[in-house]
Amino acid sequence: MTIGEFLVIYERNHVAFLKSRRNTSQRLQKYVGQLAAIHLSDLTKLQVLDWFHAIEPAKGGSAANHAIEDLHSMYTKANDWDLYDGKNPAARVKKFPKQSRERFVLAHEMPWLLKVLADEMPRIETYFLCLLLTGARRDEARLMKWTHLDLDHALWHKPTTKTGVPHTIPLPPQLVSRFPYRNRCFLPRRSPEGYRPRCIKQSGRASYHEP
């Protein structure tokens, strides 16, 4: 069985059930797909290292690290499903060091940012205010549903987080006052995957529009 053939099985039986399935699937096709013609049992550690180190100059260390994690997970599943019984060629690969984020919104920039958001559609403004005021991750806010909110007590019950543990956080008054009006917030009405803003560049600045 080739890596490409197993990739189809892996996506259908594992990736499809992940919260991050869209991003994971895109990464798999973009990076692991480069190895598609190789048989599972024929991929060597040296081939993996060459592939891994070739990703970093073009896409960065983070992309390379995600790619090697995806490949390692694929081989682990292939072993679990009795489709491969050799060593994992993606094991014990030294990853590129993570670079901490050093850029934050500064105090003197906040009024300008709020002014720019005020010019956007109300749903877009509310989405980014939610990120700013709660510290939530993008997907956490995007996948928020009405059933997750307790507006009477100003609470947001997150059914799952990055660590896989449910979490409840308080909602600031600025957000609570927006949520009762469904036509003025970003919460989904019918889509099970929530609202996904799409960033485009327009007139020399980044703006956000509904897809």
pLDDT, tens digit, 9 for 90 and up, residues 87-136: 999 999 999 998 766 677 888 998 999 899 889 888 888 889 999 999 88
Rounded Cα distance, 148 and 209, in Å: 25
In a domain, 185, yes or no: yes
Helices 122-134 and 110-118: crossing angle in degrees, nearest 10, is: 150
Same domain, yes or no: 135 and 203: yes
What percentage of the chain reaches a pLDDT higher than 90? 52
Rounded Cα distance, 151 and 20, in Å: 28
Q: Which domain holds residue 182?
A: 107-209
What local confidence, expressed as pLDDT, does residue 102 receive? 67
Same domain, yes or no: 53 and 147: no
Higher pLDDT, 102 or 76: 76
What local confidence, expressed as pLDDT, does residue 187 receive? 58
Q: Mean pLDDT across the stretch 40-62? A: 96
Indicate whether 200 pLDDT > 60: no
Same domain, yes or no: 19 and 66: yes
Enter the pTM of the model: 0.60
Rounded Cα distance, 13 and 81, in Å: 10
Query: What's the total number of domains in the chain?
Result: 2
